[in-house]
Amino acid sequence: MEINKFLQIIDVPATDEKQLNNFISLKRKEIENAVKKLWNEYSDNAISQNPNAILSDPNAISSEMNAISSEMNTISSEMNTFSSEMDAFSPEMNAFLSEINAFSSKVNTFLSKINTFTTEIDEKFDTKLPETNTFESQYSSNLLTNNENSQTDMKFGEENNTPEHKEEAKNKAFDIQTKNKEIKFPFGKVNQEYSINFDIESLGIPALAKVTFIGLESIGLQYYPDEKQIRGIPTVAGDHKIIMRCTRKDLTENRPLFERDVNLVINPDPRLLWNNIPTPANIEYYKPDEDKAFIKVESEISKGFLGFGKKEYLRKDMVAASQRGRSHAHEGKARDDDFALNFDKEIEWYTMVVADGAGSAKYSRKGSQIACETVINVCKEQLSSQNKDFETNIRLFANDKSQENHNKMVRILYDIIGKAAFCAYKNIKDEAEKYQYPLKDYSTTLLLSISKKFDFGWFIAAFWVGDGGIGIYRKEPEYLEVLGEPDGGEFAGQTRFLTMSEIFLWESMAKRLRFDIVPDFTALILMTDGITDPKFETDANLNRIEKWHELWDDLQGKNEENAKVDFTDDNEQAADQLLKWLDFWSRGNHDDRTIAILF
């Protein structure tokens, strides 16, 4: 039963337990008398209605008493329920009353502000009232004053219409127009060509006659109004405030100059942020920070008959270059890469080899050097000693590329370049044991090739351990053959190295030996990952001829640095040019770079 409803039924003037208790306390005597009166009335009425039945029937009396007792118990139960409900309701009621009090306080505060505002309005109205009352008395004098002001304004207006004032107004308007015009110069970079179009007519200011810039020359730029260009090669990095001076078209010779600032940001050349600390000459296994080589192979001239019909046959040259990476140069560390070239004039075999010493290996610079030197020496010996048998099998394979002839070639190549790679491993191991250093401290990759021109085409063979790349590339008609694939280690960023003995298991060696016969080619290229990472980006791109086209165009000058290698025959400057090209900038790619090219 709801508490309020119950209280209404019994007609008690209370809305909560506290009020009920107070009511009972105050009316206790009256309640007792009312109950006794009701009892007596009930008893008298019952006896008067049926006195004989009640007096003569004790059971009836007992039944009536039981009924009264039951009713009293029901009342008591309801009172207990009411008390429990009041106990449960009391916290909610108290919280509600607390909210009412808080709201009441806010209302009082609001009313107080309203009263204050009303008072202020009344005070202001009262102060304005005397002025309103005197309006009519002041009206006539105001008319006289207004007439005088009008005459003064007319005189002032006449002064404003003078040529000097009109000129000043035009100047102010022109100055505001030029300063509010949005002019943005694109960012530039130190040591890189900067060129933008700047046409004053495009600014949309009809009165603009001429523009000059103050501050461009000091940072390596210049404004060419006739060509409507700002260009040059920025030399100073920073956020520069360039002053733009403007003149109006319709001014006399004593024309004023109008100035505004234009921001020009020149970013620094990121290369200049890198140190280039020479490698200390007293370190163990010192190696120069860069190296280059060019092997010129003289053209072949046929004798003809009795001096007639002589013909010159151009023969390919070799060039290679190696440069320490910026990451090593910044800390004054040694170059880990290496290379070696050889052309045997007697048997006309070309040999090229590049190696990338592992950056995590303490003496890898020595490992790569030993590998390159050993391969050149062993290949020279083996090619010379096995030349007759080797070339006979090459010719057989050219005529019949059967599996049997293919297997013969694999066995012979295993004895030549396979042996060269194994000897390189053995010599590195001997060096480590000599100084009691761990073999892994000399870890290095190895990429080598041997090639020779025959009357039926070029025979080319290769052996590849580690990352980097080897490819036979022809521009027109386009052709590409990648002679192997990069080695991946167990985890990303790892690779295989020549110093791992499992490289020389037969299955591994057979997989790494590649050879083919091609009619001709533009270039046979061997590269360490210092080249392949920035130029090919992924291992998969090594098989895309488009990337090789880009590399070849890059080598021939299609790059930001305009670094170009001239691949014309017998160009002995090619080594210097290639070394300069190796200095290209590629964000995040600062490893040692080594490349060898037969062209």
Tens of pLDDT, residue by residue over 45-70, are 443 444 443 334 444 444 544 554 55
Q: Compute CA distances 168 → 155, 156, 161, 176, 209, whole Å.
A: 19, 16, 11, 12, 17
Residue 209: the pLDDT is 86
Task: Report the length, in residues, of the chain.
Answer: 599
Residue 284 has pLDDT above 90, yes or no: yes
In this prediction, residues 257-282 reach a mean pLDDT of 92
Of the two residues 68 and 543, the one the predictor is more confident about is 543
Residue 548: the pLDDT is 98
Residue 155 has pLDDT above 60, yes or no: no
Whether a cis peptide bond, with omega within 30° of 0, leads into 477 is yes
Tens of pLDDT, residue by residue over 178-191, are 888 889 999 999 98
Strand segments (E) across 407-530: 446-454, 457-465, 469-474, 479-482, 513-518, 523-527
In this prediction, residues 409-416 reach a mean pLDDT of 96
Residue 308: the pLDDT is 60
Q: Please state which of the ranges 19-33, 346-360, 470-484 shows the lowest mean pLDDT.
A: 19-33
Task: Let me know: does 586 contact 311? Beta carbons within 8 Å.
Answer: no
Residue 30: the pLDDT is 67
Q: What's the whole-number average pLDDT of the chain? A: 81
Closest Cα to residue 379, out of 411, 419, 426, 337? 419
Closest Cα to residue 320, out of 19, 25, 596, 43? 596
Tens of pLDDT, residue by residue over 432-455, are 999 999 999 999 999 999 999 999
Task: Let me know: does 17 contact 90? Beta carbons within 8 Å.
Answer: yes
Residue type, 44: D
Alpha carbon 314 to its chain centroid, in Å, reads 49
Q: What is the DSSP string of 299-339?
A: PEEE--BTTBS-EEE----EEEEEE--HHHHHHTPPP-EEE
Confidence of residue 140 (pLDDT cuts 50, 70, 90): very low
Of the two residues 546 and 200, the one the predictor is more confident about is 546
User: Rounded to whole angstroms, how far apart are CA atoms 450 and 461?
Assistant: 5
Phi–psi pair at 478, nearest 5 degrees: -65, 140
Predicted TM-score (pTM) of this structure: 0.65
Tens of pLDDT, residue by residue over 479-502, are 999 999 998 644 445 689 999 999
In this prediction, residues 260-281 reach a mean pLDDT of 93
Confidence of residue 112 (pLDDT cuts 50, 70, 90): low
Confidence of residue 572 (pLDDT cuts 50, 70, 90): very high
Q: Please state which of the ranges 120-124, 210-214, 357-361, 383-387 shows the lowest mean pLDDT.
A: 120-124
Confidence of residue 126 (pLDDT cuts 50, 70, 90): very low
In this prediction, residues 138-159 reach a mean pLDDT of 41
State both tokens at 235.
């030399």
Residue 538 has pLDDT above 60, yes or no: yes
Q: Provide, rounded to the nearest whole percent, the portion of the chain with pLDDT above 90.
A: 58
In this prediction, residues 543-571 reach a mean pLDDT of 96
Residue 178: the pLDDT is 85
Residue 317: the pLDDT is 98
Residue 173: the pLDDT is 84
